Amino acid sequence: MMASRIVYTILFLIGFINSLTAQDTLFYENFDNSPGSKPFGWTTELESGDSKWQFLDGGGTKNPDIPGSRRPSSAYSGTVNALYFFESLGGEEVALVTPPIDLEFAIRPELRLMHVQREGNLGFGAAHDELRIYYKTHFDSAWTEIRKIAAFTDEVYDWTEQIVQLPGEAFVPECYFAFKAKTNYGWGIGIDDVRVVWGVKKWLLLLHLLTLSLPSGPSSG
């Protein structure tokens, strides 16, 4: 009787874990459906004139009409990425903000994105832009240092996956993320394939659920 119960429990949990496939990715955006404009639900802050996020194919260039002149030459996937490219030494900053993402019942979620920020032409180490990532749990809240979850202040020459572990305070029904770009006369900051995924492997979740569900020792009755 106990053996059949254990087998049933294991089969049930395996079926439950497999049913979570569609939930592995909680949020995804690769910008391909909105060339030239922000995707639906995304917002920007601090934009002024040409100091703004753009949605195009590749990195910054002084000659946008010349094919292949962008650095890098193309998006990571598809034909559109988000880019902040503004040639200035004034340290201007612009934020690109996600729509609200439901993380209330997420299990160890991670923010993942493809990222690039090539150094400019002012000399080694003298001209690369910077990216910082923040979160907040209410639309009207401010982006504060205590909610900064990542900072990339060195050159990232080619498309590179960045993985950011999210704090427990972010596990709310509406969590927002801001990608705050700062210019320093580099070739711009590009992001692509932004996603929030479960940070726990399915077999680890299965093992955890098994330890909670199965008896720990022989029955005393």
Where exactly are the structural domains of the chain? Answer: 24-200
Pick from 11, 86, 7: which is nearest to 52 by CA?
A: 86
Q: What confidence tens digit (pLDDT) does each residue in 8-53 have?
A: 555 665 555 555 544 489 999 999 999 999 999 999 999 999 999 9
3-state secondary structure 163-198: EEECCHHHCCCCEEEEEEEECCCCCCEEEEEEEEEE
Average pLDDT score, the chain: 87
Residue 135 tokens read as: 């979160």
Q: What confidence tens digit (pLDDT) does each residue in 98-117 have?
A: 999 999 988 889 999 999 99
Angle of helix 2-18 relative to helix 202-213, nearest 10 degrees? 150
Helix (H, G, I), strand (E, B) or coil at 4: helix
Architecture of the CATH domain 24-200: Sandwich (2.60)
Residue range 148-168: average pLDDT? 97
pTM of the entire predicted model: 0.82
Q: What is the DSSP string of 114-145?
A: EEEE---SSSTTT---EEEEEEESSTTS---G
Q: Is the pLDDT of residue 207 over 50?
A: yes
Helix (H, G, I), strand (E, B) or coil at 53: strand
More confident residue, 150 or 211: 150
Residue range 78-102: average pLDDT? 96
